[in-house]
Structure formats: structure tokens, C-alpha cells
């Protein structure tokens, strides 16, 4: 099949979170499976032009009352032969930040930037004389792709092209004032008909959910959860109405990047058969964070965006969060790498200044993220909701037992510890409260000190859990086939 991935992020070119990992890894797996798969991305400043090849001639994209032009650059996705196209438009993408900056978290012209991008995907295919069987769009920035396909390109060379839309995070919907609607070059009746209308504003994600031939999200549990009011972010009704077209496909782990037996970021390597290198990683991690190099104290790691989704309020909320008591009541060490909401960054730093066994780095570092996965004994991820979550899968692979809330992809990947039998690969809790995080960390720490044989067996078991992208790519292949059948029968 010919598949075009339309995404605002893909590793290694542009990343703000797991979306980038998913798009890069799925593309590689589809390429391995023999599909002709390609990616289109905006060319942000973080992608230097000098590493790219410029294609002949500009691209003309109809928007607003006129048109915008951009240049097209090309590269190849590392580790495979999939082409990656970059749309180079200085005014829209020539800046730092994918969606915004610390000061302006959602760029004011995001609806223009990403509607341009979505429309340009079609023009790119025309320019390449390559019409895909499937347009696979990801998250709200590509939300207009299925809308354009259904309502603007239905009788064009895209008439036999199917659309698949993947929800990576229902919490971000791309909601903007309807004043911007004319910019999309869609007739006003589509404001309602295409599902873009949302409390008299525009909702790009909603448009995609209503218009796409097939829908997917990144774990089976999240696919069920988003059809309930608690997790549906007010789109659960629409999702329920499309439930026969919605599937949850669990993400995989890219073992080229995340394998403790070959990880280039680690001072020592290890495997399930021989875990001795993990102790060297723990020592290096303690050194890096300025903690005493003690092999016997349980070390808990976190790598996270510091946003409400990740349960940071219950951990670090001023006065009520449980992090302070966890660190002062229990004999353990905690290291955190993350960035995000300013209040939480401040709170985390204040905590690190007060208590010696809690250490934090605010910022983004691939190397440190890998070292935390390898050097920690446990990985804490108390997410409010988690569409899939990659870090807990990395943790399992690195023999670092996850302590997670039973939600979304966390529920699908971590098996709860059973004290009587020693079964399980991690520690789960249901209710998101400071108290249950405290209790569950306490439970893990207790097992660390008192059930050493269980912990050792759980580590080995966790390391054998396979989350392969080849399996996921197979499921996406079936989803594409379903979408195509639908479009070609209609
Ligand atoms: P989300 O996409 O919701 O943030 P995921 O668990 O799916 O959550 O993916 C997060 C990805 O981003 C992982 O690859 C993780 O290692 C990485 N990541 C998050 N924060 C940082 C950071 N501060 N430094 C390095 N990597 C990070
Ligand atoms: C989003 C979700 C995360 C998921 C990732 C990749 O960022 O928050 O849970 O793993 O997308 O699909």
C-alpha cells in the first residue's frame, strides 16, 4: 500500500513527546513490511536545511482568499528507505518551538500554520505524482486532512484514497475562534456538517473524528476509556457514535533505540540473562544526580512532561502533593527529568533544595532519559490518563519496574505484583490521589527490601515482555485495508 503519514512530529527530526517516537517507529515497521510509506512534516528551525535535499519548484497551497507557497525538502527516515518531505514556509514554521514556546504555549497562528500544512499534504502528493492509498493523519495538527479529503478532494485524484486518523491525546483538540474558519477555504455549511463546530468555535480534532474513514488510538484500554464521560474530554458522545470504526492499537517500542544490551547512552550494558551492568548504570545515575552511590537503596526514576495529564498535581501540588512525604518517610532516592508547567518546575526545584534524597533536572535530555530508565529500580508514572505511554514500556525492557496508575496503555502493559505468588511486572493503583501514590510507592519499596527474590524475578520477567512495532504495523495494515474497503465501496 502507498501510505502518507501526516504528522507535526517524527523522530529524529522534531519531537515534543511520544507522538514523534510513534510516527518514526511505525513508519519504519511499515517500510519493513513492504509498504511504500512516506512522511510529511513542517520544516521547523530544529531541522537544518543543510541536511536536506531541495526538490525542484515550489508548492502552491490554496488557503484563505489566496494561496501560500512553500519549498519542499526531502530526506530519508534513518534505518529505512522511507522518504520524509519537509514543507519549508518561513513565516509559519521558521521559528523555535513546534506548537509554541514557554511564553506563548499555543502560537496564535497555529490554525493557519496547521491548516496550511494539512492542505499542503495533498498538493505535495500531486507534485510528486504519487497518490497514496491511505492518508494517515495524527492528532489535531493534522485534523483537517480527513476533512479536506472528504469534502474538497472527493472527486479528485484522491477519490479512492482512504483516511485514517490516530488519536494520541484527546486532551489537545485544537480549539480556535470561528473567525479563522474562512482561512480553511471550506464552505460555511461544513462548519456544522464536517463536525468542526464546537460550542460555536472550531475544533480541529472533532472535525477529524467526524470525517475520517477509520479512527484509531494507541491502546485498547484508552479506546474504551475515551468513549466515557470521564476520559472523553466532551467528545465521548461523538466517539461512541463511531465506536465501530474506532480501534485501539498498542504502540511498540523501538528496540534500535531502547535496548539495554546495546544502548549507546549507557556506561554499561546488560540483558535479562546477565543484569550485572544495571548496577553500574545505577551508580552512574546516582553520580550524575549528586546522590550517594548506594547500591542497596531503592532508586525511583521519572522522565515526564510536567503537565496535569501526568499526575504531577497529586505528586508535587503545593501542600497536598505526596512527593515530600514519600521522600521523608521512606528510605529511598528519587530522580526526575522533566519540563513543562512553570509552577511544577518551580515546585520540583524547591523540593530538591529542601530534601537530599530527591534530585531533579529541568530540561530535555535523551541521554539522561536513557540513564534513568537503566539506572533506576522503579519508574513512577501516576498518569491521570495515558493514551499509551512509552516510558513504562522502556522501563519494562530495562528491568525497571513501573509504578503506574491503571489507566490507558499503562493498564495494557503493566501486570500488577502479586505478593502471594511473586507474579507481575510492576505496581498498579486505581484512584489518582496523593495517598494512593504514597501507598503504592511504599508497597514497591517494601517489596524491594523484604521480597528481594520477587523483585529479581519480576525484573527478568519484565525484560522479556515484547512490544514490537511489527505486531502494531500488522494491525495498522488491517486497519488501512478496512478504511480502503469502505472508501472504495461507497
Ligand atoms: P507523552 O508523549 O504523553 O509525553 P510518552 O510516554 O508516550 O508520553 O512519551 C514520552 C517520550 O518523551 C518518551 O520517549 C520520553 O523518554 C520522552 N521524554 C519526555 N520528557 C523528556 C525529557 N525531559 N527529556 C528526555 N526525554 C523526554
Ligand atoms: C501521546 C500520549 C502518550 C502516547 C504518545 C504516542 O503523547 O500522551 O500516552 O504514548 O502520544 O502515541
Query: What integer best gives the mean pLDDT of the chain?
Result: 97
Pocket of ligand 1 (CB under 6 A): 17-18, 21, 303-305, 337-339, 364-366, 369, 388-391
Instruction: Output the nine-digit C-alpha cell for 56.
Output: 525542484
What residue has cell string 511498540?
252
Average pLDDT for 242-258: 94
Cα(424)–Cα(461) distance, integer angstroms:
8
Q: What's the Rg (C-alpha) of the chain?
A: 23
Average pLDDT for 453-468: 97
Confidence label for 72 from pLDDT (cuts 50, 70 and 90) = very high
Q: In this structure, is residue 258 part of a structural domain?
A: no
Q: Which whole-number Å values give the CA distances from 71 to 47, 52, 93, 353, in the listed order?
A: 14, 12, 12, 49
Q: In this structure, is residue 126 part of a structural domain?
A: yes
* pLDDT given at position 97: 92
Q: In this structure, is residue 53 part of a structural domain?
A: yes
Cα(222)–Cα(176) distance, integer angstroms:
25
Cα(362)–Cα(233) distance, integer angstroms:
29
For residue 52, is it left (φ>0), alpha (ψ between -120 and 50) or beta? beta
287 shares its domain with 149 = no
446 shares its domain with 318 = yes
Residues 6+ apart with CB under 8 A from 337: 302, 303, 304, 360, 361, 363, 365, 368, 369, 372
83 shares its domain with 141 = yes
User: Which ligand 2 atom sits closest to the C-alpha of 309?
Assistant: 8
* pLDDT given at position 342: 93
pLDDT at 220 over 60: yes
Q: In this structure, is residue 271 part of a structural domain?
A: no
338 shares its domain with 415 = yes
Q: In angstroms, what is the span from residue 339 Cα to ligand 1's centroid?
A: 10
Domain count, the chain: 2
Average pLDDT for 345-351: 96
Q: What is the pLDDT of residues 255-313, one digit of tens each?
A: 888 999 999 999 999 999 999 999 999 999 999 999 999 999 999 999 999 999 999 99
446 shares its domain with 473 = no
* pLDDT given at position 490: 55
Instruction: Output the nine-digit C-alpha cell for 68.
Output: 501560500
Q: In this structure, is residue 404 part of a structural domain?
A: yes
pLDDT at 404 over 90: yes
347 shares its domain with 478 = no
160 burial (CB, 10 Å; 0-12 / 13-18 / 19+) is: exposed
322 lines ligand 2 (CB under 6 A): no
Average pLDDT for 179-202: 95
235 shares its domain with 160 = yes
Cβ-defined contacts of 145-150 (< 8 Å, 24+): 145/6, 145/118, 145/121, 145/208, 146/207, 146/208, 146/211, 146/212, 146/213, 147/186, 147/190, 147/194, 147/196, 147/207, 147/208, 147/211, 148/118, 148/119, 148/122, 149/122, 149/211, 150/194, 150/211
Question: Where does 153-229 have alpha helices with state H?
Answer: 189-193, 204-211, 220-225
Q: In this structure, is residue 130 part of a structural domain?
A: yes
Q: In angstroms, what is the span from residue 305 Cα to ligand 1's centroid?
A: 6
Q: What is the pLDDT of residues 17-35, one digit of tens each?
A: 999 999 999 999 999 999 9
Q: In angstroms, what is the span from residue 401 Cα to ligand 1's centroid?
A: 17
Instruction: Output the nine-digit C-alpha cell for 228.
Output: 466515557
Q: In angstroms, what is the span from residue 249 Cα to ligand 2's centroid?
A: 12
30 shares its domain with 163 = yes
Q: What is the pLDDT of residues 330-345, one digit of tens each?
A: 999 999 999 999 999 9
Q: In this structure, is residue 264 part of a structural domain?
A: no
Q: In this structure, is residue 84 part of a structural domain?
A: yes
Would you say the pTM of this structure is higher than 0.85? yes
Probe target for ligand 1 pocket from 254, 390, 397, 413, with the most ligand atoms within 8 Å of CB: 390
CATH code (residue 12): 3.40.50.2000
41 shares its domain with 180 = yes
Average pLDDT for 448-463: 98
182 shares its domain with 162 = yes
346 shares its domain with 483 = no
Number of Cβ atoms within 10 Å of the Cβ of 265: 16
Cα(301)–Cα(306) distance, integer angstroms:
14
User: Which ligand 1 atom sits closest to the C-alpha of 373?
Assistant: 16
Where would I find the beta strands (DSSP E) of 128-222?
A: 134-138, 162-167, 175-177, 197-198, 201-203, 214-217
Q: Which domain does 147 fall in, by range?
A: 2-252+469-489
Q: What is the pLDDT of residues 102-145, one digit of tens each?
A: 888 899 999 999 999 999 999 999 999 999 999 999 999 999 99
477 shares its domain with 453 = no
Average pLDDT for 378-401: 98
What residue has cell string 503545593?
318
26 lines ligand 2 (CB under 6 A): no
DSSP 134: E
Amino acid at each position: 500500500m502507498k501510505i502518507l503519514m501526516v504528522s507535526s512530529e517524527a523522530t529524529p527530526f522534531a519531537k515534543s513527546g511520544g507522538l514523534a517516537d510513534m510516527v518514526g517507529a511505525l513508519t519504519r515497521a511499515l517500510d519493513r513490511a513492504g509498504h511504500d510509506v512516506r512522511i510529511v512534516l513542517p520544516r521547523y528551525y530544529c531541522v537544518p536545511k543543510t541536511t536536506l535535499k531541495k526538490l525542484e519548484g515550489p508548492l502552491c497551497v490554496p488557503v484563505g482568499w489566496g494561496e501560500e507557497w512553500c519549498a519542499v525538502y526531502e530526506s530519508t527516515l534513518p534505518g529505512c528507505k522511507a522518504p520524509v518531505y519537509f514543507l519549508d514556509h518561513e513565516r509559519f514554521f521558521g521559528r523555535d518551538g513546534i506548537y509554541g514556546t514557554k511564553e506563548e504555549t499555543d502560537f496564535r497562528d497555529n490554525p493557519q500554520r496547521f491548516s496550511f500544512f494539512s492542505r499542503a499534504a495533498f498538493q505535495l502528493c500531486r507534485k510528486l505524482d504519487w497518490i497514496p492509498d491511505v492518508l494517515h493523519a495524527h492528532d489535531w495538527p493534522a485534523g483537517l486532512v480527513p476533512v479536506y479529503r472528504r469534502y474538497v478532494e472527493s472527486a479528485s485524484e484522491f477519490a479512492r484514497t482512504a483516511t485514517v486518523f490516530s488519536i494520541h491525546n484527546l486532551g489537545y483538540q485544537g480549539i480556535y475562534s470561528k473567525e479563522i474558519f474562512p482561512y480553511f477555504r471550506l464552505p460555511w455549511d461544513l462548519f456544522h456538517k464536517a463536525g468542526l463546530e464546537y460550542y460555536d468555535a472550531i475544533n480541529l480534532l472533532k472535525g477529524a473524528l467526524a470525517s475520517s474513514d477509520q479512527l484509531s488510538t494507541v491502546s485498547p484500554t484508552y479506546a474504551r476509556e475515551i468513549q466515557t464521560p470521564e476520559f472523553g474530554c466532551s467528545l465521548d458522545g461523538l466517539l461512541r457514535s463511531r465506536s465501530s470504526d474506532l480501534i485501539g492499537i498498542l504502540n511498540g517500542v523501538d528496540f534500535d533505540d531502547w535496548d539495554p544490551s546495546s544502548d549507546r547512552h549507557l556506561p554499561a550494558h546488560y540483558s535479562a540473562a546477565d543484569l550485572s551492568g544495571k548496577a553500574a548504570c545505577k551508580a552512574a545515575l546516582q553520580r550524575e544526580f549528586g546522590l550517594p552511590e548506594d547500591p542497596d537503596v531503592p532508586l525511583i526514576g521519572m522522565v515526564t512532561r510536567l503537565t496535569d495529564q501526568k499526575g504531577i498535581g497529586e505528586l508535587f501540588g503545593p501542600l497536598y502533593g505526596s512527593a515530600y512525604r514519600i521522600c521523608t518517610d521512606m528510605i529511598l532516592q528519587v530522580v526526575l527529568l522533566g519540563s513543562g508547567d512553570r509552577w511544577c518546575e518551580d515546585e520540583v526545584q524547591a523540593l530538591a533544595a529542601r530534601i537530599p534524597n530527591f534530585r531533579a533536572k529541568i530540561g530535555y535530555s535523551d541521554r539522561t532519559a536513557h540513564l534513568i530508565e537503566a539506572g533506576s529500580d522503579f519508574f513512577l508514572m501516576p498518569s491521570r490518563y495515558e493514551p499509551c505511554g512509552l516510558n513504562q514500556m522502556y522501563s519494562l525492557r530495562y528491568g525497571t519496574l513501573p509504578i503506574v496508575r491503571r489507566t490507558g496503555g499503562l493498564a495494557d502493559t503493566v501486570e500488577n505484583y502479586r505478593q502471594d505468588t511473586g507474579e507481575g511486572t510492576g505496581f498498579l493503583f486505581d484512584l489518582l490521589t496523593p495517598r494512593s501514590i504514597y501507598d503504592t510507592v511504599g508497597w514497591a519499596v517494601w517489596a524491594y527490601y523484604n521480597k528481594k527474590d520477587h523483585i529479581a524475578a519480576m525484573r527478568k520477567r519484565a525484560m522479556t515482555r515484547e512490544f514490537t512495532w511489527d505486531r502494531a504495523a500488522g494491525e495498522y495494515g488491517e486497519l488501512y485495508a478496512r478504511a480502503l474497503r469502505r472508501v472504495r465501496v461507497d
